[in-house]
Amino acid sequence: MRASRRSLLSSVFTLLFLLSLFAPAVALGQATDQGLDPADMDLSVDPSEDFYRFANGGWLDRTEIPGDRGSYGVFNELDDLTREQLLTLLDEVATSGDLEEGSDTWKAAELYRQGTDIETRNTQGIEPIQPLLDQVDAITDLASLHEFQQTAEFSWLTGLFFVYVFSDLEDSSVNVPYLSSSFLGLPNRDYYLEDSEENTEIREAYVATLAEFLQYGGYSAAQAEPAAQAVYDLEKRLAEPTLSTEEQQDVSLSYNPKTLEELSALYPAMDWTAYMAELGLTDTDTLIVTELRYLEALDAIVQDTPIEVLKDFIKLEVYWSFADFLGEDIGQTAFEFQGGVLGGVQQQSPLEQRTLDQTSGMVGEAIGQLYVREYFPPEAKEQITTLVDALIAAFRVRIDDNPWMTDETKQIALEKLDAMEVKVGYPDRWQTYENVEIGDSYFSSFLSAVNADTRRNLEKAGKPVDRTEWPVPPQVVNAFYNPTANEIVFPAGILQAPFFDYEADAASNFGAIGAVIGHEITHGFDLQGAQFDAEGNLSNWWSDEDLAAFEELNARVVEQFGAVEVLPGVNVDGQLTVTENVADLGGVQVAYDALDIYLTAQGDSGAAAASPIASPDAPLAGTPVASELDATPIADEVAPSPVTSPEASPLASPVASPVAMTDFDALTPQQRFFIAYATVWRTEIRDEALQTQIQTDNHSPGAVRAVLPIQNMDEFHEAFGIEEGDGMFLPTEERIVVW
């Protein structure tokens, strides 16, 4: 079901602007063989019956989940490629003889060397964390417990709560300290509170793992088992007052400013002034409490809990936090629960890969500079930025033509879109790691890195927000929307094949990375992103009428996705995944409209047109789009633009036969677009990992993301001739367009 079209001058101007960007690509050559691969498909399948199989059958048949993974898909493939690239780069710099001792690159190479020196790590065992365990053992009462708590986060521990600094949700220009709740060993509160056969088995395995951890510290089995159960019981009490999944989607519930005096009344066991002094926050008189119910309940819980149980609770956080930085035995214990029980995985990833990921987490931008220098030139950053800017302009049309939003609210939405910042590839200014010291163990070096990062974060309190900072290093294969900065972030790691390939046809690029970029832009207007204004401030800019219409659409999305069964008796959690599902819907719909605009400028409706970025002189018009552009007729006050009428739109041209397709070369641009979109989400997943994803992940499973969003599009049905009675048919009245 398409949104109704309105005759707005701004829509015409935006369309003409986009066409002016795409026009230089018209003279480029024919489509290449890059992009879609027929070997990944199953051309014997009727796409109107099983589109997921049609688009991905070949890949599914030949792909086995590696023994060290719970699932495997395109993101994993690209992760593996990026790791290979990074391992090669680290090896080259480490053996070059050119490293300056003490430099950030040297520190990265040393961290990696220490991590892969498993013989030394095995010899040291848990010895590196013994001083930290001794500090916990020295706790004798609640007073000494809270003295330990005051500096716990410098040891990468939360204890009962912890402080971090982030932009003020109601004034995004300044950084303020937040107070958050304790560490919990199970993935979320539901594992403690919801009774099911699966959860019962997981809890039993979890308690057994806690007991095994305690035995590393000298407990006998007879001591460890009841101690582990007591810690589990404490964690359950701590989990009970925390926000539910649905409550977490209301950001205002996590914004509770409290003065130190108010905090003292809520939790009198802590000397809050002394705590702030230890953290270096001497000018702080207010903390933003993210879990108010938790803090209100905490005093009674702590008073009721024996001091030995509280000490064991902290010791177990030490084991969980640092197991992967010690010897193989304790690391294996952690893996058998986190990977085996929760993910169905039988073996760990190779040591080199795990160490690379850890090193990248500690000194990410030091490694990122190497990666960008080799694999992401400045020209690519400039081209992608130009493309994303054009797609934001395209999204403008989508808002202009929105049928359920009033003009007043629509104007505010447009202002937010116009203010959206874009970060592509890598930062303009690199972070340095001068405060990271290489110690005598992998653990001590890691602790130095996280300590330096903690102090760097706390030092931001009360200072202006630096909008140039990046949330992740450039080698990360992912993309993000940050609501408090109203920014979208596309690291260099994701801007490569199969998501983006400058040699591929435009339809493939729009369907793959285009939908990803559209997804992130749409996050600015999903159930959570829409709670923030153009400046990134938590603000209700909605009229009651518009908010009611928006919430009704989201409720329909919750119901539609929640009806999908992924395991016997197990459905997608529509509420948990609603924001990502709305972003998937918006992302693919926006990307399709942008392809329409590009092909109109290209003037080629029959064959898959060459990518508009195949020439270094052409703007990145054929790469992924991030927003949905409505390129259909504009009526009433303004005469229809010739570039938006159905007769002129290449995507309005006749489609190929809807029957099972054996001629890959006959695929139209429309069909290639939808196939490319489905390939992005192809995934093989173990049942255990799928069960855990359903309970913890706010993303729907890949097989659902690949098909259900496009089933909501009229254009998908038209492209493959899908009719009532076909397996892929979704009745018109059930199709959802939010943005």
Model pTM score: 0.84
Instruction: Assess whether pLDDT exceeds 60 at residue 25.
Output: no
Instruction: Assess whether pLDDT exceeds 70 at residue 269.
Output: yes
Q: Is 460 helix (H, G, I), strand (E, B) or coil?
A: coil
What's the rounded mean pLDDT across residues 683-699?
95
Give me the pLDDT at residue 285, please: 95
Band (662; pLDDT cuts 50, 70, 90): low
In sequence order, the β-bridge partners of residue 165 are 177
Give me the pLDDT at residue 446, please: 97
Asked if 210 contacts 232 with a C-beta cutoff of 8 angstroms, the reply is yes
DSSP class of residue 487? E
What percentage of the chain has pLDDT greater than the value 70? 87
Tell me the pairing of strands 421-425 and 487-491: parallel
Alpha helices, DSSP H only, in 40-158?
51-62, 74-95, 104-116, 118-124, 130-137, 142-151
The residue with greater pLDDT, 21 or 156, is 156
Give me the pLDDT at residue 343, please: 93
Instruction: Assess whether pLDDT exceeds 50 at residue 643.
Output: no
Asked if 581 contacts 557 with a C-beta cutoff of 8 angstroms, the reply is yes
Of 52-66, 600-614, 659-673, least confident by mean pLDDT is 600-614
From the list 37, 71, 39, 56, the residue with the least C-alpha distance to 697 is 71
Distance between CA atoms of 728 and 739, rounded to whole angstroms? 22
Give residue for tokens 């690519």.
380
Q: Radius of gyration (Cα) for the chain, nearest Å?
A: 27
DSSP class of residue 730? -
Instruction: Assess whether pLDDT exceeds 70 at residue 693.
Output: yes
Q: Is 95 helix (H, G, I), strand (E, B) or coil?
A: helix
Band (382; pLDDT cuts 50, 70, 90): confident
Distance between CA atoms of 716 and 246, rounded to whole angstroms? 32
Spell out the residues 6+ positions from residue 194 whose beta carbon is closer than 8 angstroms to its own. none
Domain boundaries in the chain? 9-72+377-431+469-734, 123-343
346-355 contact pairs (CB < 8 A, 24+): 346/67, 347/67, 347/68, 348/68, 349/68, 349/69, 350/68, 351/115, 351/116, 351/118, 352/87, 352/116, 353/83, 354/115, 354/324, 355/112, 355/115, 355/116
307-311 contact pairs (CB < 8 A, 24+): 307/139, 307/140, 307/141, 307/142, 307/145, 308/227, 309/227, 309/230, 309/231, 309/234, 310/139, 310/145, 310/234, 311/136, 311/137, 311/139, 311/145
Instruction: Assess whether pLDDT exceeds 60 at residue 635.
Output: no
Count CB atoms within 10 A of the CB of residue 169: 22
Give me the pLDDT at residue 3, please: 36
Give me the pLDDT at residue 267, please: 98
Q: Over the stretch 88-102, which tens digit does the pLDDT of each residue have?
A: 999 998 888 888 999
Of 420-429, 449-458, 501-510, least confident by mean pLDDT is 501-510
The residue with greater pLDDT, 387 or 475, is 475
Q: Over the stretch 547-581, which tens digit does the pLDDT of each residue have?
A: 999 999 999 999 999 999 999 999 999 999 999 99
Q: What are phi and psi of 168, to 5 degrees?
A: -65, 125
Give residue for tokens 């303009």.
428
The residue with greater pLDDT, 645 or 425, is 425
Asked if 286 contacts 256 with a C-beta cutoff of 8 angstroms, the reply is no
What's the rounded mean pLDDT across residues 241-266?
96
What's the rounded mean pLDDT across residues 468-491?
94
Q: Over the stretch 174-230, which tens digit does the pLDDT of each residue have?
A: 999 999 999 999 999 999 999 999 999 999 999 999 999 999 999 999 999 999 999
What's the rounded mean pLDDT across residues 412-417?
96
Give me the pLDDT at residue 378, please: 80
DSSP class of residue 531? G
Chain CA centroid to CA 560, Å: 22
Distance between CA atoms of 75 and 194, rounded to whole angstroms? 31
Spatial strand order in the sheet of 487-491: 421-425, 487-491, 480-482
Distance between CA atoms of 387 and 198, rounded to whole angstroms? 46
At 483, list the tokens: 């609501």
Instruction: Assess whether pLDDT exceeds 90 at residue 35.
Output: no
Instruction: Assess whether pLDDT exceeds 90 at residue 594.
Output: no
What's the rounded mean pLDDT across residues 252-268?
97
Angle, vertex CA 374, rays to CA 676 and CA 477, nearest 5: 40
Asked if 228 contacts 330 with a C-beta cutoff of 8 angstroms, the reply is no
What's the rounded mean pLDDT across residues 54-67?
96
Q: Over the stretch 290-300, which tens digit does the pLDDT of each residue have?
A: 999 999 999 99
Band (658; pLDDT cuts 50, 70, 90): very low
> Domain 123-343's class?
mainly alpha
Chain CA centroid to CA 535, Å: 22
Instruction: Assess whether pLDDT exceeds 90 at residue 339.
Output: yes
Distance between CA atoms of 685 and 72, rounded to whole angstroms? 6
Give me the pLDDT at residue 595, please: 87
What percentage of the chain has pLDDT greater than the value 90? 78
Asked if 505 contacts 608 with a C-beta cutoff of 8 angstroms, the reply is yes
Band (505; pLDDT cuts 50, 70, 90): confident
Asked if 45 contacts 55 with a C-beta cutoff of 8 angstroms, the reply is no
Give me the pLDDT at residue 604, please: 57
Give me the pLDDT at residue 39, please: 95
The residue with greater pLDDT, 15 or 94, is 94
Q: Which CATH number fits domain 9-72+377-431+469-734: 3.40.390.10, 2.40.30.210, 3.90.1150.10, 3.90.1070.10?
A: 3.40.390.10
Of 460-464, 524-528, 641-645, 675-679, least confident by mean pLDDT is 641-645
Q: Is 490 helix (H, G, I), strand (E, B) or coil?
A: strand
Mean pLDDT of the chain: 87
> What is the number of residues in the chain?
739
What's the rounded mean pLDDT across residues 315-338?
97
What's the rounded mean pLDDT across residues 309-327?
97
Instruction: Assess whether pLDDT exceeds 60 at residue 23.
Output: no
Q: Over the stretch 137-161, which tens digit does the pLDDT of each residue have?
A: 999 999 999 999 999 999 999 999 9
Asked if 279 contacts 260 with a C-beta cutoff of 8 angstroms, the reply is no
